[in-house]
């Protein structure tokens, strides 16, 4: 795979991301990147690359379970997961579709579990309850989301 060559503007964002002391600063950088993308000052590929770096960097902070919203593969997966959780039921079929989406986007099981826990915590704070079906994996072991 050939690495993406970043523009000067994108490299400046990369430096800010690398120096960010917390999730708030990462979210601020993500918002600025979105603005620059909207103005067409950086390309979508650059924004996606920077967003993936922001998500990776946000994982390094253990201060709380807040979600950093940035243009990234993980954010695309989060939106899909929120869509499936909207009816407060995560069916077996939806879990299989999520597994395929994780495979396509390169989202690890650990990232999925962390994101699911964060979303469920947000829903619980709002007084909502979500039911998650469990099912038997083809090898006989139980799989859950």
Tokens of 72: 């990234």
pTM score, whole prediction: 0.75
Residue 145, pLDDT score = 43
Does 19 score more than 90 pLDDT? yes
119, 77 Cβ separation under 8 angstroms: no
142-143/131-132 β-pairing? unpaired
Q: Which residues pair with 132 in a beta bridge?
A: 90
Phi, psi of 44 (to 5 degrees): -65, -40
| Distance in angstroms (rounded) separating the CA atoms of residues 103 and 111 | 12
pLDDT band at residue 20 under the 50/70/90 scheme? very high
Share of the chain above pLDDT 90, in %: 52
Tokens of 90: 């995560």
pLDDT band at residue 1 under the 50/70/90 scheme? very low
pLDDT per residue over 28-58, tens digit each?
A: 999 999 999 999 999 999 999 999 999 999 8
> 55-86 burial, b if ≥16 CB within 10 A, otherwise e?
bebbeeeeeeeebbbbbbbbbbbbebbeebbe
pLDDT per residue over 114-144, tens digit each?
A: 888 888 888 888 888 888 877 555 555 554 4
How many residues are there in the chain? 145
82, 119 Cβ separation under 8 angstroms: yes
């Amino acid at each position: 795979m050939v690495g993406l060559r970043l523009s000067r503007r994108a490299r400046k964002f990369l430096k800010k991301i690398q120096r960010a002391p917390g999730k708030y600063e990462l979210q601020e950088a993500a918002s600025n990147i979105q603005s620059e993308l909207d103005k067409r000052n950086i390309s979508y590929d650059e924004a996606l690359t920077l967003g993936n770096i922001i998500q990776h960097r946000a994982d390094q902070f253990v201060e709380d379970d807040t979600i950093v919203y940035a243009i990234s593969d993980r954010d695309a997966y989060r939106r899909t997961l929120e869509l499936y959780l909207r009816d407060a039921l995560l069916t077996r079929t939806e879990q299989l579709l999520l597994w395929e989406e994780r495979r396509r986007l390169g989202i690890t099981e650990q990232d999925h579990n962390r994101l699911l826990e964060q979303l469920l915590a947000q829903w619980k704070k709002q007084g909502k309850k979500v039911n998650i079906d469990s099912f038997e994996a083809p090898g006989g072991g139980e799989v859950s989301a």
